[in-house]
Amino acid sequence: MKIGTWRVEYTITLIIIYTFILLFIPTSIKTTVQAGHITKWKDTYNKINYLQEAILKQEQSDILTSLKSKTPDEREDIIITLIKPYFRLKETKVPRRYKVKYMDKKNIQKDDFYYINEYYFTENNMIVGLKDVDDSDTRDTIFLMTFDINGLLPPNMWGKDVFGVRVHADKVEPIGREMTIEKQYYDCSVNGSGKGCSNFYLIGGDFND
């Protein structure tokens, strides 16, 4: 009887331990990985700020403003030339099979403002996306830039490992800065697109699965 009771208690203990591992350990790992992505995004944004300051301090400080008078291909070449030393872009472009999704798992359609056709690898295998924005776009954005912090590795999703900025004639700002705090909080959730996370994390917001 005692042996049988011991076996039952032992089995119950194992079930409890297994259930704990199943429920909590994966979440803990995901949380740690996400925290790492956020840290890398903050470091990347600091580089972008440094790049912006370096450009504006040059004698030809109107370099971003002059982009408006260029063709889309010329603008892209200029932007690539500017960011290449800071992000060490490779000549090889990212394969077409690479796709980015929103945080609510919806696909990004080709007619979407955030659909990007050209992606580049950096030397540390981060993926940088570049998109020339039509002059008719509101808020005077010239270029859209995205950064997939862990490259081809999943989830390749806005707010998880993909973040971005808008390049204006006189500044660079994280996507989501134009949103209210409440909208950023909602957008940076499984019910939102995840774009607002680009600014939300920079101002101290926390991720919420």
The string of pLDDT tens digits covering residues 26-48 is: 444 457 788 889 999 999 998 88
- Asked whether residue 104 is assigned to any structural domain, the reply reads yes
Q: Give the model confidence (pLDDT) of 140-189 as tens digits.
A: 777 789 999 999 999 999 999 999 998 876 778 999 999 999 999 999 99
- Going by pLDDT thresholds of 50, 70 and 90, the confidence category of residue 81 is confident
- Asked whether residue 25 is assigned to any structural domain, the reply reads no
Contacts of 87 by beta carbon, 8 Å cutoff, 6+ apart: 47, 122, 126, 128
- Asked whether residue 20 is assigned to any structural domain, the reply reads no
Task: Look up the pTM and report it.
Answer: 0.75
- Going by pLDDT thresholds of 50, 70 and 90, the confidence category of residue 93 is confident
DSSP β-bridge partners for residue 147:
128, 163
pLDDT, position 27: 43
The structural domain count of the chain equals 1
- Asked whether residue 19 is assigned to any structural domain, the reply reads no
Q: Is 162 helix (H, G, I), strand (E, B) or coil?
A: strand
Range of the domain at 98: 37-200
- Asked whether residue 30 is assigned to any structural domain, the reply reads no
Count H helices and E strands in the chain, helices first. Answer: 4, 6
- Asked whether residue 208 is assigned to any structural domain, the reply reads no
